[in-house]
Amino acid sequence: MDIFGSFALLLAFLAAVYAFVGGIAGILTRRALLTKSALNAGMAVFGLVTLAVGSLEYFFFTDNFSLAYVSAHSNTALPPFYKFAALWAGQEGSLLFWSWLLSIYAFWALFLNRKKHPELMPYVGVTLAGVQIFFLTLNNFVATPFKVLGGLDASGAMHVARLSEGSGLNPLLQYPEMVIHPPMLYSGYTGFTVPFAFALAALLGRYPGEKWIHITRRWTMVAWCFQSVGILLGAHWAYAVLGWGGYWAWDPVENASFLPWITGTAFLHSVMMQEKRGMMKVWNVWLVFVTFMLCILGTMLTRSGVVSSVHAFAESSIGGWFVGFLAVVFLVCLAAWWKNRDYLRSDNQLDSLVSRESSFLFNNLILLAACFAVLWGTLFPVLSEWVTNNKISVGPPFFNKVTVPIAMFLLFLTGVGPLLAWRKTSLDALQRNFAWPLGGGVLAGAVAFAFGFREFYPLICLIMSVFVTLTILAEFYRGARVIASRDGTNLLTAVGELTMRNTRRYGGYVVHFAMVLIFIGIAGSAFNQDIQKEMGPGDTLVIGKYTILCQNFDQVSNNNYQSERATLEILRNGRSEMMLYPERRFFLASQVTETMVAVQSSPLRDLYVVYAGRSPETNRPVIHAYLNPLVKWIWFGGIVLVLGTGLALMPNRRAALVLRPAGEASWGAVTQGAPGSPAPSPVVRRSGAHD
């Protein structure tokens, strides 16, 4: 079976090479059959990599420890869903998983467009194949997951060893979210390859118009949504598993996942300027290029050991391959842009600084400033060591100081953008649209201040959050009121009708609201409290309005781990509210101990309790309790974000045709110089256009 997997992987590599070389030859010789066979080879990669993945999973599920990768990341007692997730637990398997997800995207991109865009698709196929060649090179020749245990004897014969038991999965990964989080994040990382391939293809093939943007709009949103969910699930995993009371530590690997998300967000906004006004073409192409390169950089940071991180894979020499690939990608992008830069000339100019275009411009500037700050802080220790030969740390205080003001300004722009009109906004419209949302925000801030809410950034965040929420509500209300009065429906029905007519716009507003929820949740961290105490049965610990009463400590065990568990009664205002059971688990296969956090979560606050171990001096159990306000808003914001993106991905409600009375000319007829045309002219009443 190992030979089967290796062979499938090697064939996948050869298919990708053929798709690349054959595709280029097809473009140069203009031989349609060659191009078609190259595109088919690109699709075949998916089937072959799927076979390799299936083969590796077979080893996991049959507890066949003859493969080094399987024996290092699994054991017999591991529950089945963790055996499945062990595929991406280590360097080699996760790279194979990466190739598999990439091949799925490539297959669908090529399959769905196989009969469309004949000028564009050969370039897309070549670009996708180029990226696949790189990852399949790693899978086949640098970090193969099909390495067998054993060796050569004196006569040169190969002997395969098979262990009776594996080392087990890293205990930190034995958590349900670890079955979901990496696939989500990797789907985000790999998903950005599709818009990258279309952008590069459009540039290389000088494909006319904004077609590539229309084609890739949904692909980009899907990748962005996966990336968002992946980041949030990672944060939730860190919160629920690592047991330090927080969800984001500005760790280099966390930052690496955040960087392409930022540029992807910038792209999703600036792309509207190109669609609407034919502006920012160079900017958009480079945003897609940079987003893809940041995905590769993030992967490199996680795997190379360049930066130290608790989330990183073991240090390896694979970083050089990624640096080389990044250099090639950058040079190709640069050359393609330089050669075809006249193709990217703007169709329109900025008419006014008070317009939606300029708000998008600022939004992009601020997002890129945030991206630069995070990238700079993440890589500065490497730069410092290289220049001064001194290692330094750049930790959370730096990132908080630099990014929080940027984030506040971004939140402000989230509210401002939808209120501005395309081209130019009059002063009257500005006053009319801004007055009550801004007034509402300031009023909320004043009330909070009067009630003793004095933390600067949380106060600003509250004002901005109320402002943005009111602007979103106002947008829905204004549109729905017109529909309700015209169609005679109630306001709620009209809101539904309005949303379904322009799903992208109103789905976008829902995503903006999700960001508000996430910002409120993050702002709550300014009021975190924590306390640590040695506790025995009968001892109590007080944090906020909660009293934690220690009842006893017991032991629980199964085939996978032995656990020491604390039984804690939670009292609020003297009344028993619930029981919490924080644990320390000793995993038998890996011989590693980890904490299992117990959390009582509510919309207002989380009571987060960790059994931190035993005091080295007294050998008494230590309980660490945290009171974290509003954390749940972050996770709820994540759900709203997915719903909003899903809404934006839906097609607009079908346009209904309304016929004009005979004798009334359509605008088309007027501009074509045929006034008074007697023929009835169909006019689309329900516009399908996006805003």
Partner 1 sequence: MTSRLPHSSAVRTLHAVTVAAFLLLVLAPAFVPTMQAQQTQRAKTLGAKMMCVCGCNQILTACNHVGCQYSHAMLKELDDRVARGDSDNLILQSFIQEYGPTVLMEPPAKGFTWLVWIMPIVAPILAFFLIWQVVRRWRRRAVLAPAGGPALSPELLDRARRQAEKEIDE
Chain residues that interact with partner 1, rule: CB under 8 A: 242-246, 249, 251-252, 308-310, 346, 349-351, 353, 358, 361, 365-366, 368-369, 372-373, 376-377, 380-381, 384, 387-388, 390-398, 401-402, 584, 592-595, 610, 612-613, 616, 624, 665, 667, 670-671, 673, 675
Alpha carbon distances (Å) from 593 to 587, 589, 615: 6, 11, 16
Q: C-beta of 398: minimal distance to partner 1 in Å?
A: 5
Q: C-beta of 249: minimal distance to partner 1 in Å?
A: 6
200/272 with CB nearer partner 1: 272
Q: C-beta of 687: minimal distance to partner 1 in Å?
A: 14
* Distance in angstroms (rounded) separating the CA atoms of residues 76 and 560: 9
Q: C-beta of 470: minimal distance to partner 1 in Å?
A: 28
- The Cα angle at residue 405 between residues 292 and 507, in degrees rounded to 5: 55
102/242 with CB nearer partner 1: 242
222/242 with CB nearer partner 1: 242
Q: C-beta of 593: minimal distance to partner 1 in Å?
A: 5
421/665 with CB nearer partner 1: 665
In angstroms, how far is CA 51 from the centroid of its own chain? 27
* Distance in angstroms (rounded) separating the CA atoms of residues 392 and 171: 30
CB 351 within 8 A of CB 423: yes
DSSP letter assigned to residue 242:
I
30/486 with CB nearer partner 1: 486
CB 410 within 8 A of CB 367: yes
Query: Which letter, b or e, does each residue of 209-229 get, where b requires 16 or more Cβ atoms within 10 Å of its Cβ?
Result: ebebbebbbebbbbbbbbbbb
Q: C-beta of 334: minimal distance to partner 1 in Å?
A: 18
Q: C-beta of 661: minimal distance to partner 1 in Å?
A: 13
Tallying the residues shown for the chain, one arrives at: 691
Cβ neighbours of residue 122 under 8 Å, at least 6 residues apart? 23, 26, 27, 35, 38, 39, 201, 205
User: Amino acid identity, residue 644?
Assistant: G
CB 125 within 8 A of CB 19: yes
Q: C-beta of 414: minimal distance to partner 1 in Å?
A: 18
Question: E-assigned strands of 615-678?
Answer: 621-629, 657-659
Q: C-beta of 421: minimal distance to partner 1 in Å?
A: 16
CB 246 within 8 A of CB 234: no
* Distance in angstroms (rounded) separating the CA atoms of residues 361 and 352: 12
Q: C-beta of 338: minimal distance to partner 1 in Å?
A: 18
* Distance in angstroms (rounded) separating the CA atoms of residues 387 and 242: 34
* Distance in angstroms (rounded) separating the CA atoms of residues 469 and 513: 6
429/643 with CB nearer partner 1: 429
244/330 with CB nearer partner 1: 244
349/431 with CB nearer partner 1: 349
Question: E-assigned strands of 602-689?
Answer: 605-614, 621-629, 657-659, 682-684
361/472 with CB nearer partner 1: 361
Beta bridge partners of 635: none
290/402 with CB nearer partner 1: 402
57/530 with CB nearer partner 1: 530
Cβ neighbours of residue 158 under 8 Å, at least 6 residues apart? 150, 151, 152
* Distance in angstroms (rounded) separating the CA atoms of residues 291 and 280: 16
* Distance in angstroms (rounded) separating the CA atoms of residues 72 and 84: 14
Q: C-beta of 332: minimal distance to partner 1 in Å?
A: 25
Cβ neighbours of residue 279 under 8 Å, at least 6 residues apart? 273, 346, 347, 348, 349, 350, 357
- The Cα angle at residue 629 between residues 627 and 635, in degrees rounded to 5: 115
243/458 with CB nearer partner 1: 243
* Distance in angstroms (rounded) separating the CA atoms of residues 287 and 216: 14
Q: C-beta of 594: minimal distance to partner 1 in Å?
A: 6
